[in-house]
Amino acid sequence: MTTQDQPHDPLDPDDLQRVVTEKTEAFRAELEQAERDSPSVTGTGVTATPVVAPAPIAEPGNPSAPSAPQPEPPDDDPAEVSHPEPREDGTHAGTGGDTPARTADLSPASTSPDADDAPADSPAAAPDAAPAPEPEPAQEPAPDPAPGEDPAPADDHAAVVPAGVASPRRTRSASSSAPVEPTLVAGEPVDGEAVRAVVEGWSHDPHGVLGTHQVGEGWAVRTLRPDAVSVTVVDQDGSRYDATQLHGGGVYEATLPQQPGDYRVEVVYGDGQGGTNTVLADDPYRWLPTLGEVDQHLIREGRHERLWEVLGAHVRSYDTPGGTVSGVSFAVWAPNARGVKVTGDFDWWQARALPMRSLGSSGVWELFVPGAEVGQRYRFHVLGADGEWREKSDPMAFATEVPPLNASVITTSTYEWGDDDWLADRAQGNWHERPVSAYEVHVGSWKQGLSYRQLADELVEYAVYAGFTHLEFMPVAEHPFGGSWGYQVSGYFAPSARFGVPDDFRYLVDKAHQAGLGVLIDWVPAHFPKDAWSLGRFDGSALYEHGDPQR
């Protein structure tokens, strides 16, 4: 039989190689097209310092180029309703020092207390403003509900749940209406559907609507302030510009004849008792991202080896002409999410005023919140790929509430280490030639009821007396169920709050080192918690877990 007479071999190596090459090239083309359709935010190549004054604007680019498509509109995210009081000392963290943008009454947060009669309107579609490639936001004007559309009722929000405790019932399915792709064009008014996306929390680029944008020959400052009675933009030179409401969900716009400088937003709220409170706040949507291009590139490739430095909650301060602005940058990885909002003590757990921006194909959502402070609790509201809203704790949090409470906590360390001698000895190496005798212990049951600091005295003394060279702690990372002995981790970078704050755990490790003891910590990512507020189905997909629940 000749070669021509032989049947065709379906597993011919040359054919297989050709098919693989064709599929690889097609896949690469799809990736490149996806990146062009939804580009990452450009930056400096490293973690960026946000721009504060003058307020940045979007580069004009191609006036006809469409923005990245918005996801289809979901149902409203249930939001908390409350009437908190301003801080007694009258100060507001994060607004800077003495500045022309001062008022008599200052409130502790950059967002508002909430009023019962606040409508949640749906605007009619209008033209759109071009998306800023850099992280500066532009808030867009949204008209009143279109004829025939009914405004969403104010009582559509879920009943108040005690702050810090997630409600497993608070999920909702997305609308099945067709996706809308508003086009943002620089220098023109924004599209009403883009404003609606910001208000309802499913915008990928709230900074393309909120913040500072050039409109025609003038400038617009748009801000999201739900339940505000009035809003005034106070520019760096003290000039004041009253804002008009563009959307019943709290979008306001002030027009300025020139590009604003280091401006602030003065907001008047009802106090629920017939009076008002005045808040002077910085604008979260005038700041550049706190993740640079290098961070985003490494995250996209899965090669970022110091994620805790860029994700989670990080306290930051920036000098501005109006004084130092302090706040917290929030960043969370949720690549399949259709929208993410951050909420916490700084916005009275309403989850309406702080939608986050998507940093393109990195999968990261980010926002700098001026005025957020150490010790405040927070959580993310995530609109999953499956159309469900979920309340999630921060997987990268450095601190949490004491279980069974589960909110994440903003923290920063002030601990001063005293283990220089131990570190110098460790640096000499030869550990494989030294004797090792590790004492494995569970901190919660060695002597029940002891804190990290008490263990630093009693446990370290016992281990040294018994001749051990190392302490090996069973999992100390935060976990929902104490009886699991630390297995089923819910916060990989937060030592369990059952025994103290993170600096207390640092004290325990420091004292062990000073006593000549090395410290080993068990890490158990294979045990997966299924709690609704934790890692499971984080962005509506099997993000942290295997897609097959039996594997």
Please report the pLDDT score of residue 15 as a whole number: 67
- Helix, strand, or coil here: 400? strand
> Which two tokens mark 138?
């532009």
Give me the torsion for CA of 280, 286, 287, 288, rounded to 10°.
180
Please report the pLDDT score of residue 518 as a whole number: 96
- Helix, strand, or coil here: 308? helix
With cut-offs at 50, 70 and 90, classify the pLDDT of residue 229.
very high
- Rounded CA-CA distance 88/72 in Å is 43
Structural domains present in the chain: 420-521 (3.30.750.90)
- What mean pLDDT comes out for the span 2-25? 56
What percentage of the chain carries pLDDT values higher than 70? 67
- Rounded CA-CA distance 68/208 in Å is 11
> Which two tokens mark 524?
């158990």
- What mean pLDDT comes out for the span 318-337? 96
- Rounded CA-CA distance 74/381 in Å is 13
- What mean pLDDT comes out for the span 270-277? 92
476, 483, 544 from 494: Cα distances, Å: 8, 18, 17
- What mean pLDDT comes out for the span 371-382? 97
- Helix, strand, or coil here: 155? helix
Please report the pLDDT score of residue 482 as a whole number: 87
Least confident of 125-129, 379-383, 395-399, 489-493: 125-129
> Which two tokens mark 201?
């929390």
Between helix 502-514 and helix 420-427 the angle, nearest 10°, is 60
Return the closest-CA partner of residue 109 out of 378, 331, 295. Answer: 378
Least confident of 15-19, 169-173, 350-354, 539-543: 169-173
With cut-offs at 50, 70 and 90, classify the pLDDT of residue 20.
low
pLDDT at 274 over 70: yes
Q: Which residue has the higher pLDDT, 55 or 286?
A: 286
Please report the pLDDT score of residue 472 as a whole number: 97
- What mean pLDDT comes out for the span 396-420? 96
Please report the pLDDT score of residue 429 as a whole number: 83
Please report the pLDDT score of residue 71 as a whole number: 47
In this structure, are strands 470-473 and 438-441 parallel, antiparallel, or unpaired? parallel
- What pLDDT, in 10s, does the model give residues 139-191? 443 444 333 343 333 333 333 333 333 333 333 334 434 344 355 555 567 88
Q: How far apart are the first and last CA of the chain?
A: 50
What percentage of the chain carries pLDDT values higher than 90? 58
Q: Provide the β-strand partners of residue 270.
A: 276
pTM above 0.75, yes or no: no
Cβ(510)–Cβ(422) under 8 Å?
no
For the chain, give the mean pLDDT.
77
Residues 6+ apart with CB under 8 A from 309: none
- What pLDDT, in 10s, does the model give residues 42-64? 444 433 344 343 333 333 333 34
Please report the pLDDT score of residue 188 as a whole number: 67
- What mean pLDDT comes out for the span 282-299? 95
- What mean pLDDT comes out for the span 210-216? 94
How many other CB atoms are found less than 10 A from the CB of residue 263?
28
> Which two tokens mark 159?
């009943």
- What pLDDT, in 10s, does the model give residues 435-458? 999 999 999 999 999 999 999 999
Please report the pLDDT score of residue 49 as a whole number: 40
- What mean pLDDT comes out for the span 221-242? 96
Residues 6+ apart with CB under 8 A from 10: none
| Per-residue 3-state assignment (H helix, E strand, C coil) for 444-485 | CCCCCCCCHHHHHHHHHHHHHHCCCCEEEECCCEECCCHHHC
pLDDT at 203 over 60: yes
pLDDT at 110 over 90: no
Please report the pLDDT score of residue 130 as a whole number: 37
With cut-offs at 50, 70 and 90, classify the pLDDT of residue 311.
very high
